[in-house]
């Protein structure tokens, strides 16, 4: 039995069986490559599901973690720290928001956003209903699965109330469920788990107008599509539309757990001492990594690289003209390739051929590689995709 098998067996014996894992155990990573427990090398086109935006073990991130861990890791939020104050300033000024709150994960960020929207709505003598759109994914807590797919809610009832769904890119379906009880509307500018589905410019503008007219908080979930993933620091910048609340995690920490909720001034004014809190959120270590992430993205001109490499990837994916292809869509290095068949076997064959990708929404292959991926590495990805397609379809 090899090392991958031994670790997989131990995992299956002792870990709660909630993940359908690939049959390998990853032991180390560097840049866009990872190695399993038996020394096999893989090109990583998944980046921990859009988390390792600067690649695995970026020297600047590693050095920051080592330095801050040797200085101060946690003090609780009874105290401010330089790192937290500086990251809050960086995120609010670059996003044109007013206030920040730090979390440890995406689901926590969305939970915080829901609370902010509801508290603001209460200040307007409104109800607390939250509207989300179909095929969305906002987390795995009880409140966040209430915003998402019905299959994720099965077995976990009673599901919290006050949540309704409408259609993406269909403003009329939103208008039908809006009422005086509506506190917020949450949408991913580009859906990730749902199959890389971009919201349209028209839809987001109509949402902004509707929210202004009806005093509703517009929430953009940029947990997957934010922090440079689309070729702009924030996905909202593609549309020129400013939400009231934004959520982040994933790429913010370049592999280290950190999330954030940002809001504008009108939302912040509705919040009082004690309305929300966290033990670990915004600790000095996490915030130092977040700050370093912003610094590296700027110093290494990552956003321009993402635009060029993302355009190249999408152009070449279309050029492959693989049988069964329905559409290639996305922005930057958040790309989905939709087929007319289930893509699980194709992704498993790609893994066998030493490239890591992901099957999502049943028939979509999701590519969210590190933002530092080179055109040479993209060429390898394309080669393996084409080879794996021939071997499985």
Q: Residue 326 — pLDDT band, cuts 50, 70, 90?
A: very high
Q: What are phi and psi of 134, to 5 degrees?
A: -65, 150
Phi-psi region of 361 (alpha: psi -120 to 50; beta: other; left: phi over 0): left
pLDDT tens, residue by residue, 282-325: 999 999 999 999 999 999 999 999 999 999 999 999 999 999 99
Predicted confidence at residue 328, as pLDDT, reads 98
Q: Residue 1 — pLDDT band, cuts 50, 70, 90?
A: confident
pTM of the model: 0.97
Within 10 angstroms of residue 13's Cβ, the number of other Cβ atoms is: 7
The residue-averaged pLDDT of 17-37 equals 97
Q: Residue 370 — pLDDT band, cuts 50, 70, 90?
A: very high
Site of tokens 């996003």: 95
- 69 pLDDT above the threshold of 90: yes
Q: Residue 258 — pLDDT band, cuts 50, 70, 90?
A: very high
pLDDT tens, residue by residue, 147-156: 999 999 999 9
Within 10 angstroms of residue 118's Cβ, the number of other Cβ atoms is: 20
Contact between residue 37 and residue 25 where contact means Cβ atoms under 8 Å apart: yes
Q: Is 161 exposed, middle or buried (0-12, 13-18, 19+ CB in 10 A)?
A: exposed
At 266, list the tokens: 């009108």
Helix/strand/coil (H, E, C) string of the chain? CCHHHHHHHHHHHHCCCCCCCCCCCEEEEEECEEEECCCCEEEECCHHHHCCCCCECCHHHHHHHHHHHCCCCCCCCCCCCHHHHHHHHHHHHHHCCCEEEEECCHHHHHHHHHHHHHHHHHHCCCCCEEEEECCCCCCCCHHHHHCCCHHHCCCCCCCCCCEEEECCCCHHHHHHHCCCCEEEEEECCEECCCCCEECCHHHHHHHHHHHHHHCCEEEEECCCCCCCCCCCCCHHHHCCCCCCEEEECHHHHCCCCCEEEEECHHHHCCCCCCCCCCCCCCCHHHHHHHHHHHHHHHHCCHHHHHHHHHHHHHHHHHHHCCCCEEEEEEECCEEEEEECCCCHHHHHHHHHCCEECEEECCCEEEECCCCCCCHHHHHHHHHHHHHHHHHHC
Partners of 358 in the β-ladder: 366
130-142 exposure pattern, b = at least 16 Cβ within 10 A, e = fewer: bbbbbbbbbbeee
The residue-averaged pLDDT of 234-247 equals 98
Within 10 angstroms of residue 171's Cβ, the number of other Cβ atoms is: 18
pLDDT tens, residue by residue, 200-235: 999 999 999 999 999 999 999 999 999 999 999 999
Residue 87 and residue 289: Cα distance in Å, rounded? 9
């Amino acid at each position: 039995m090899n090392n991958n098998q031994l670790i997989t067996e131990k995992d299956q014996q002792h870990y709660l069986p909630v993940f359908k894992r690939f049959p390998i155990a990853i032991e180390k990573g560097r840049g866009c490559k990872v190695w399993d427990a038996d020394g096999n090398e893989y090109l990583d086109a998944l980046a921990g599901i859009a988390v390792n935006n600067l690649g695995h073990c970026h020297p600047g991130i590693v050095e920051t973690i080592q330095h801050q861990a040797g200085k101060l890791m946690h003090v609780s939020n009874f105290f401010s720290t330089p790192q937290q104050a500086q990251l809050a300033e960086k995120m609010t000024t670059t996003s044109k928001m007013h206030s920040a709150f730090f979390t440890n994960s995406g689901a926590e960020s969305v939970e915080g956003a829901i609370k902010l929207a509801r508290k603001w709505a209460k200040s307007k003598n409104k109800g607390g209903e939250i509207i989300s759109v179909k095929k969305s994914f906002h987390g795995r807590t009880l409140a966040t699965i209430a915003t998402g797919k019905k299959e994720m809610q099965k077995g976990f009832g009673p599901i919290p109330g006050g949540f309704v769904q409408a259609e993406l890119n269909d403003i009329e379906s939103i208008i039908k469920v809006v009422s005086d009880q509506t506190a917020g509307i949450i949408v991913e500018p580009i859906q990730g788990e749902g199959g890389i589905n971009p919201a349209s410019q028209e839809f987001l503008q109509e949402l902004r107008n509707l929210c202004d007219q009806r005093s509703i908080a517009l929430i953009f979930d940029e947990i997957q599509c934010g922090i440079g993933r689309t070729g702009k620091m924030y996905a909202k910048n593609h549309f020129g539309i400013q939400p009231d609340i934004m959520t982040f995690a994933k790429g913010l920490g370049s592999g280290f757990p950190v999330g954030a909720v940002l809001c504008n001034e009108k939302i912040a004014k509705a919040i009082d001492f004690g309305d929300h809190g966290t033990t670990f959120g915004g600790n000095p270590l996490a915030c130092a990594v977040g700050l370093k992430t912003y610094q590296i993205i700027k110093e290494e001109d990552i956003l321009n690289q993402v635009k060029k490499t993302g355009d190249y990837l999408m152009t070449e994916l279309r050029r492959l003209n693989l049988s069964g292809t329905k559409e290639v869509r996305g922005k930057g290095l958040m790309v989905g390739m939709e087929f007319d068949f289930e893509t699980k076997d194709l992704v498993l064959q790609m893994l066998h051929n030493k490239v890591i990708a992901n099957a999502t929404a049943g028939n979509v292959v999701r590519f969210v590689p590190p933002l530092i991926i080179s055109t040479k590495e993209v060429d390898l990805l394309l080669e393996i995709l084409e080879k794996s397609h021939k071997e499985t379809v």
